[in-house]
Amino acid sequence: MMRVILICLVIFSHLLVFPLAKNGLIFAKNSKKKIYYKIEKGDNLTIIAKKFNVSMDEIADWNKLSPKEVLLAGKTLLIYGVKSSHVLHPGEAIDLEKPVARWEIIKEYSPVGEYRNPGLLCRVIGENQVKPANAGTVLKISQIRGYGQYILIDHGNGWHSLYSNIEEVNVKSGQYVDSSHIIGRAKNNKLFFLLAYDGKPVNPTGYFNSKRD
């Protein structure tokens, strides 16, 4: 458990306006990662095994399934040792999609100066559904004083993203998500987004592609 406290203490130490969260997030860097995958319409063991680069027999064994069992959309599967192709290699830059369809940045990333800001403070325009900026595993769902409810996602190889001021949370810790999943909604159409590498916030603006404008 102690290994999973460090990452958030480092990230939250950069949220200088507010105190550090006492219950920090922990990122276990051990290799045997466990996730919960939500079955989607059309999924079968072959498709899921290829997605995560594991065997069908392993998935069946972990979840006590027969090899030919029909999978029901919406149910969850337990998967160990994720090695899927979406995981970034060391040193590889992350490719982000905007977490909402449209936004206006109220306060830009600013690592220095009197009014430091380790992320992006945004006003959401129109639909307030929030989606992951990149595929990954939900690491933590909790509260930060002054930032509201947050979701922290681990994208692999030191990359994490944090979404705060979230309501109607639609995921749970340990769940695998991709950029099509709705993880929650931006409360009062305000969203704080933070990108971190090795626990240190970085400017996310140069990593966004144009898939959601």
Same domain, 129 and 57: no
Domain count, the chain: 2
Q: Residue 194 is part of which domain span?
A: 91-207
CATH number at residue 65: 3.10.350.10
* 63 SS3 class: helix
Q: State how far the alpha carbon of 166 is from the alpha carbons of 32, 47, 148, 152, 183, in Å.
A: 29, 32, 7, 11, 9
* Per-residue pLDDT reduced to its tens digit, 83-124: 444 444 444 568 899 999 999 999 988 876 566 788 999 999
pTM (2 d.p.): 0.64
Same domain, 114 and 200: yes
For residue 142, tell me if it sits in a domain.
yes
Same domain, 202 and 110: yes
Distance (Å, rounded) from C-alpha 181 to C-alpha 94? 18
For residue 69, tell me if it sits in a domain.
yes
pLDDT band at residue 128, thresholds of 50, 70 and 90?
very high
CATH number at residue 164: 2.70.70.10
